[in-house]
């Protein structure tokens, strides 16, 4: 006569399987995330090389961040429908649409459609894919310099696109990094402003568009360590110590609550080397 499993034995086996699953599933999730982060870091490296090759072909000039209506689409004067942002300008060197999207986050899969901005009325603002990538360019720390006076009393420079040789330490200057556009699940914005992105609210996520939150909200995926591409062409990690943090729930713990305090933090901690300053030549 064959002996069957008792109910107790079956329950024990099920309990063991449940325990093993509880142990292994987080490990599998961590391994999956690590693979996505590696893929994103590889993509940033290729983007960084694309930036370098573009500048080599354009007299050492950093790639312009914004696009414009060049007339190639008949009857369409909306600049947001054209692909000639920094993404489109470096695309011939990269030749891969998906490279410009962070693999640790969901990405778009149709590069021919226009994407509606959910934070504005439906009659406004639709974008081609080259405006809504989840890898974003550091516009005022890498691409642009401006004329006038800066936030911290510095005098403006020529107000044009930078020369890559102007950076005193290109290996420390952030050029491109993953960003998050509010609560949107599959795209972000083509550029970020370092002067704002360096001073985020660090104990909350944005629910709508915010220049301050674009970079820091990438911690939804990356938690402690962020990833970025640098002006010298390499890609690597950086940590939350690169931000001047504001805390909305506990303002007294903030590192800066005024722009003057932000200037002091940026200067004393040498953070302009990382983020850049649009009103100086380096």
State how far the Cα of 243 lies from the Cα of 77, in Å rounded to an integer: 38
Q: How confident is the model at residue 252, as a pLDDT?
A: 93
How much is the mean pLDDT over the chain?
87
State how far the Cα of 213 lies from the Cα of 243, in Å rounded to an integer: 11
- The closest of 256, 238, 257, 281 to 44, measured between CA atoms, is 238
pLDDT tens sequence across 104-154: 887 888 999 999 888 876 667 899 999 999 999 999 899 988 888 888 988
Percentage with pLDDT > 90 across the chain: 59
- The number of distinct structural domains making up the chain is 1
Q: Is residue 281 part of a domain?
A: no
Say which residue the tokens 């429908």 belong to: 81
Range of the domain at 210: 7-275
Model pTM?
A: 0.86
pLDDT tens sequence across 247-277: 999 999 999 999 999 999 999 999 999 999 9
Q: Is residue 282 part of a domain?
A: no
Q: Is residue 2 part of a domain?
A: no
The answer to whether residues 151 and 259 touch, using CB atoms and an 8 Å cutoff, is yes
Q: How confident is the model at residue 21, as a pLDDT?
A: 63
Q: Is residue 280 part of a domain?
A: no
Q: How confident is the model at residue 123, as a pLDDT?
A: 67
pLDDT tens sequence across 210-260: 999 999 998 877 666 899 999 999 999 999 999 999 999 999 999 999 999
Q: Find the angle CA(45)-CA(46)-CA(48) to the nearest 5 degrees.
A: 65
pLDDT at 95 over 60: yes
pLDDT tens sequence across 159-185: 788 888 888 899 999 999 999 988 888
The whole-number average pLDDT for the span 38-55 is 92
pLDDT tens sequence across 6-29: 667 666 667 777 676 666 555 444
Q: Is residue 271 part of a domain?
A: yes
Q: Is residue 1 part of a domain?
A: no
């Amino acid at each position: 006569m064959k002996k069957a499993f008792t109910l107790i034995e079956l329950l024990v086996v099920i309990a063991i399987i449940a325990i093993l699953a509880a142990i292994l599933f987080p490990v599998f999730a961590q391994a999956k995330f690590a693979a996505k982060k590696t893929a994103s870091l590889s993509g940033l490296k290729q983007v960084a090389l694309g930036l370098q090759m573009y500048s080599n072909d354009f007299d050492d000039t950093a790639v312009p961040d914004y696009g414009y209506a060049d007339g190639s689409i008949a009857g369409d004067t909306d600049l947001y429908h054209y692909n000639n942002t920094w993404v489109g300008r470096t695309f011939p060197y990269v030749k891969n649409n998906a490279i410009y999207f962070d693999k640790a986050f969901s990405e778009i899969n149709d590069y021919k459609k226009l994407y509606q901005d959910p934070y504005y009325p439906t009659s406004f603002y639709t974008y081609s894919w080259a405006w809504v990538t989840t890898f974003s360019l550091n516009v005022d720390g890498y691409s642009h310099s401006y004329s006038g006076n800066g936030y911290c009393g510095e005098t403006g420079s020529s107000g044009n696109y930078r020369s890559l040789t102007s950076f005193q330490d290109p290996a420390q200057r952030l050029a491109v990094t993953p960003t998050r556009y509010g609560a949107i699940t599959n795209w972000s914005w083509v550029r970020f402003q370092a002067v704002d992105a360096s001073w985020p609210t660090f104990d909350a996520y944005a629910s709508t568009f915010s220049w301050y939150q674009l970079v820091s909200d990438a911690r939804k995926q990356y938690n402690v360590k962020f990833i970025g591409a640098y002006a010298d062409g390499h890609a690597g990690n950086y940590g939350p110590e690169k931000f001047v943090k504001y805390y909305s729930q506990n303002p007294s713990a903030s590192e800066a609550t005024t722009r003057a305090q932000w200037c002091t933090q940026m200067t004393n901690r040498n953070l302009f080397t990382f983020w850049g300053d649009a009103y100086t030549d380096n």
